[in-house]
Amino acid sequence: MGTLTAATSEAARKWYVIDAESRVLGRIATATARLLQGKHKASYTPFLDTGDHVVIVNAAKVKLTGRKDEQKLYRYHSGYEGGLREERAKDVRQRQPIRIVEEAVRGMLPKTKLGDAMYRKLKVYAGPMHPHAAQKPTPYEVA
């Protein structure tokens, strides 16, 4: 008797919506990464993408604990010599509120082609509205 392996084409993908308003960033990111990877399913297979789609709304109102608004730095590089740029979390929240949530979730996914495929199933919106009502996403409550 062999081990049953789930096929990616047979994976039943559900849609979840998470409201990030006044929720801690790390809690949202871990719950989202878990849903994207499919770890909440009995058919979880580490080397296959069997996860679900996740829509995060109100990303601009996510909560950072402690003094992270002042101390947390987001770094990016232009590719040119001396092109390292740094921004504080409060500035990133003003300019690109979606980026805070996206980077937190991306950091918790595998750094492979499989992780890229999982990341593509994440949709983040700064406000309460999203265009995915046709998929009938189920509300997901983060502790």
CA distance 143 to 91: 27
- Report which of 72, 64, 67 is spatially closest to residue 88, judged by C-alpha positions: 72
Give me the pLDDT at residue 140, please. Answer: 97
CA distance 49 to 19: 24
In CATH, the number for domain 13-64+96-139 is: 3.90.1180.10
CA distance 130 to 58: 10
- Long-range pairs for 113-116 at CB < 8 Å and ≥24 separation? 114/47, 114/48, 114/49
Domain boundaries, the chain: 13-64+96-139
Please list the alpha-helical segments (H only) found in 56-112.
68-71, 89-95, 97-106
Q: What is the pLDDT of residues 34-50, one digit of tens each?
A: 999 999 998 888 999 99
Query: Do residues 33 and 105 touch, judged by C-beta distance below 8 A?
Result: yes
Query: Do residues 6 and 128 touch, judged by C-beta distance below 8 A?
Result: no
Q: What is the pLDDT of residues 92-137, one digit of tens each?
A: 999 999 999 999 999 999 999 999 999 999 999 999 999 999 999 9
**pTM of the full structure:** 0.91
Residues in CB range of 130: below 8 A, 6 or more apart: 17, 55, 57, 123
